[in-house]
Chain A
Amino acid sequence: MCKCLGGIEVHNYFNELSAKLFALLKGNEVLLSVCEGEESDFVRLNQNKIRQAGSVKQQSLQLTLISANKQSSARFQLRGDMQADFEHAKYCLQQLREQLPLLPEDPYLNFSTQPQNSTYMTENRLPDAAQCIEDIMQAAARMDLVGIWSSGAMISGFANSLGQFNWHSDANFNFDWSVYLKGDKAVKQTYAGFEWNKETLQQKLEHAEHTLTLLAKPPRNVEPGRYRVFLSPSALQEITGLLGWGGFGLKSHRTAQTPLLKMARDGVILSPKVNMVENHVDGLTPRFTKTGFIKPDHVTLIENGVYKNTLNGARSAKEYSETVNSDSEQPQSLYIEPGTLKQSDVLKALDTGIYVSNLWYCNYSDRSHCRITGMTRFASLWVENGEPVAPINVMRFDETLYHMLGDKLIDLTQEREHFFDSSTYESRSEASALLPGALVEDFQLTL
């Protein structure tokens, strides 16, 4: 296998390996083959020094054998040696074949039977990661910087024995960091993309340095109560991230487990300013699902505050007689339409209240009523008469979404911020979001 994971060689390797497996099928058997991999550099920084630096190369193959309305799946790591990988895959295939007779029929078996091929492959424009780390450490020479650099190639492939082949590969970086003043007072920033620009990083760090001067003021203790707040796009991302946990999935809706149940059942609406779309076409994730369906360009989730559509994975779609429009039933490319508030007018519109730069550790305190609790974090500021006065010590909120983005939402910002998910559980995420900020009144702080 080639050293460059994003290259044409690994595309061909997956194609060849899948074809060899398809040739082993018997009778009416159908095989789905999914390949995922990454070749990543991870550098962890603390105090603007290296804490842990390393590289990870991993590739997996998932096989799903289908026969007589039954299915079974197995996943294993590819080694990159065709003979060894083929033998391993052949062994898995035989194991799956022996298991199928022991299983009952699967009424919700659902996979694409109309082949649609696609290839998305970008040029790797990343510089040497070690040079980027050098740039970072130089630019943050005076700072207490802590964070994670992740970069490299990522691949996703799908093939089935019906003749479908889909490929998605790109190479990107995601630098996610905080600059600390002291204690828990810090500025959180990110820089992600496909091409590294040292000047962009320097501008961001200069902005962080400026914000740190505000954080140097004595922090204000805010008493529990209701406050006028501005939720930055980053803060709103924490809210929508939690909302994605069952909020939009077809299964969670049909089993009454969605936190948006009141919207679905009782006709409760959010503010008409709220429009949410799963924007597959502008996202970074593959356009094909692990069962071979091609995602639509857009799925409107909430329109003018009214619940519109669910995200439907293959299995739920079959169970509830809907069309597949998602892989995971969670937003991977969530876009919220902008409002009318100019970013330059935010402090003036906030007047007196809290500029919430970041939220943290959100969870449901009453799921049926979409009531969410969480903490403020990083550079959240007390604002008086449109002027930032002091950082606040962290506060807990406990508020329903039906207030936050409902009757207590004053406006959303015209400008939006693009987020590239820096999550790296098991492998690097390719989820993204484009979100505005939100000006909210009577936001409840509790502790």
Chain B
Amino acid sequence: MNLSEAFQHIIHQFKEVAPAVDFWSLRLVIDQQESLTVRQNVAQPPYFAQSQGAHITLVHNGAAAYAATSQLDRVGFKTAIDLAMRWLHASQAKMVFDATSVSRPTVSGSYASEVAQPWDGMSLSDKIGLLQDSNRQLKLHDCIVDWQAYLSHRETQVLVLTSDNTEIKQSFQYIMPGLQAVANVGSETQQRTGGGWGTMRQGGLEQLQTMQFPTVATQVAEEAIALVNAPQCPAGSMSLLLLPSQMMLQIHESIGHPLELDRILGDERNYAGTSFVTLEMCGNYQYGSELLNVTYDPGHKAEMASFGFDDDGSPAERTYIIRNGILERFLGGAVSQARTLLPGVANARASDWNRPPIDRMANLNVEPGTSSMQELIGGIENGVLMDTNLSWSIDDSRNKFQFGCELGRVIKDGELKHIVKNPNYRGISATFWRNLAAVGNTSTFELWGTPNCGKGEPNQMVHVGHASPACVFHDVQVFGGD
């Protein structure tokens, strides 16, 4: 039975017991992941994981409830529907919003990742051989005390079917490579990563080249060694040049999360927190300097959170969130849009079949500006370049933050100088973006993101994409370690 036939068989089983309610939706997810790691020249046990299950949402008389099950047959669906019906009954007239006010998906369609070189096109032995070669490059010196290379692949099939006969099929493939070298001298340890570590891309093995995997292995090791012998990052108020590998985190924490409507509506107050942004700011709030342009963009095919529809079935399209520094729109899916009567985007997403969709970021990008990297550096009299996120912390309103990077480089009088370790900076979201002084052009633009954004109750870990050029900020509090 192929996948399409398997889906149809499962749907048939569900429809046999589908309840008579105002609205139902069925989200089927089949997810497969393969992970390969070689650490210190030793192949770790390969790991293959498969998950499949169904998430059923019921809406009736103004209430909504869900049930999720891995038992994808008539009996399993009947049990799940009974549980959802129980919660539907318990939620009548007790919900924080009227579920019938939420617009239902009306557009059927499909989406598929573009894959030029399929994962299965390379043998298991060849993949392990590639990782072992990388390990040999990473172990450059005795002070490299730990090193590893990994390569993972994930394939996810999602089908959303509603009682209105809307049907959406999406097929995703992701590649996750990474390289790490850890250098130690005495009681000082520094790590350097590269080759896609900490992020992933949609597509096939052709993505490895653009992520510099494994070609950057020697450089990763050299920089780890340089870091462990480097001076501390200087302290003071200065200019900050963030590469896309850190812009990713800056966008994520201090633009993405504050603009999620469910946070503004208070859903996350007990866990991920609230927001310093209020609904009244939409359309008029000066979020950043006029150089700041931020888009919700599900259309970058290789960016990890590209899709045709969100998990509620809303069609996705590129939308400006911040234009010329002014906040234009929040990040909220169909439920949040109904609750606020404000426009949003298609970003109701669930981590898997066993969790309900909530407002997430998807792809949230800073648009390129006009400056070359040379111009960005040349415009800095006293500052630090920071590369690759290492530490992140921000308050529950997403305002006061402190972030750290793996590698820093001093910039003096428009020239790049020596490497510094433990580069950290702190600031306040509400003012930080207004100090955006220069935005790199497309030659500095890179696709990043994180596969591990945690939020929601029950907790959910999802992947989010953040593409950005390199950017310069003025008057930032920068400092190093002890």
Contact = CB atoms under 8 A, between A and B. Distances in A.
B391 A365 contact: yes
B269 A146 contact: yes
B187 interface: yes
Contacts of B108: none
Contacts of A44: 267, 457-458
A102 B128 CA distance: 9
Contacts of B76: 79-80
Nearest to A378: B396
A255 interface: yes
Contacts of A426: 352, 354, 461
Contact of B90 (A53, A64, A257, A377): A53
Interface in B59-98: 63-73, 75-76, 79-80, 83-84, 86-87, 90-91, 94-96
A258 B315 CA distance: 46
Nearest to B253: A361
A178 interface: yes
B188 interface: yes
B270 A53 contact: no
Given A137-B94, A375-B400, A398-B402, A265 B186 contact: yes
A447 B47 contact: no
Interface string A47-86: 1011111111111100010000001111111111100100
B49 interface: yes
B458 A424 contact: yes
Given A53-B87, A261-B187, A99 B46 contact: yes
Nearest to A242: B393
A57 B79 contact: yes
A220 to B, nearest CB: 16
Given A59-B70, A72-B45, A262 B80 contact: no
Contact of A369 (B80, B90, B481): B481
A447 B402 contact: yes
Interface stretch (B50-58, B322-330, B367-375): B50-58
Given A53-B65, A77-B70, A425 B270 contact: no
Contacts of B400: 375, 394-396, 447
B397 interface: yes
Contacts of A237: none
B426 interface: yes
B135 interface: no
Contact of B91 (A53, A77, A95, A183): A53
Contacts of B90: 50, 53, 130, 133-134
A106 interface: yes
A77 B52 contact: yes
Contacts of A178: 269-270
B295 to A, nearest CB: 27
Contact of A257 (B67, B87, B191, B393): B191
Contacts of A40: 458
A58 B70 contact: yes
A103 B248 CA distance: 36
A246 to B, nearest CB: 11
A446 interface: yes
A148 B45 contact: no
Nearest to A377: B396
B459 A424 contact: yes
A199 interface: no
A255 B182 CA distance: 8
Nearest to B69: A57
B271 interface: yes
Given A130-B87, A186-B269, A46 B96 contact: yes
A2 to B, nearest CB: 11
B402 A396 contact: yes
Given A257-B191, A266-B187, A81 B73 contact: yes
A300 interface: no
A360 B356 CA distance: 25
Interface in A104-154: 104, 106-109, 130, 133-134, 137, 146-148, 150
B45 A106 contact: yes
Nearest to B267: A46
A148 B267 CA distance: 10
Contacts of B80: 55, 57
A383 to B, nearest CB: 21
Contacts of A109: 45
A190 B50 CA distance: 34
Nearest to A109: B45
A309 interface: no
A257 B188 CA distance: 9
B265 interface: yes
B146 A257 contact: yes
A41 B63 CA distance: 17
A191 interface: no
B69 A176 contact: no
Interface string A309-339: 0000000000000000000000000000000
Contacts of A3: 79
Given A81-B73, A148-B458, 16 more contacts: A41-B87, A50-B96, A53-B90, A55-B84, A57-B70, A72-B45, A75-B47, A77-B53, A92-B48, A104-B43, A137-B94, A257-B189, A363-B404, A366-B480, A375-B393, A424-B459
User: Which 9 A-B residue pairings sit nearest by Cβ, starting from the closest?
Assistant: A366-B481, A54-B66, A148-B457, A255-B146, A424-B458, A256-B184, A77-B70, A55-B83, A49-B96
Interface of A: 3, 40-44, 46-47, 49-60, 64, 71-81, 84, 92, 95-96, 99, 102-104, 106-109, 130, 133-134, 137, 146-148, 150, 176-178, 180, 183-184, 186, 188, 255-257, 261-262, 265-266, 360-369, 371, 373-375, 377, 394-396, 398, 400, 423-426, 446-447
24 contacts: A42-B458, A46-B265, A53-B65, A53-B90, A54-B356, A55-B66, A55-B68, A57-B83, A73-B45, A73-B46, A73-B48, A76-B52, A77-B70, A78-B70, A79-B73, A102-B124, A255-B182, A361-B392, A361-B395, A368-B188, A368-B481, A394-B395, A425-B460, A426-B352
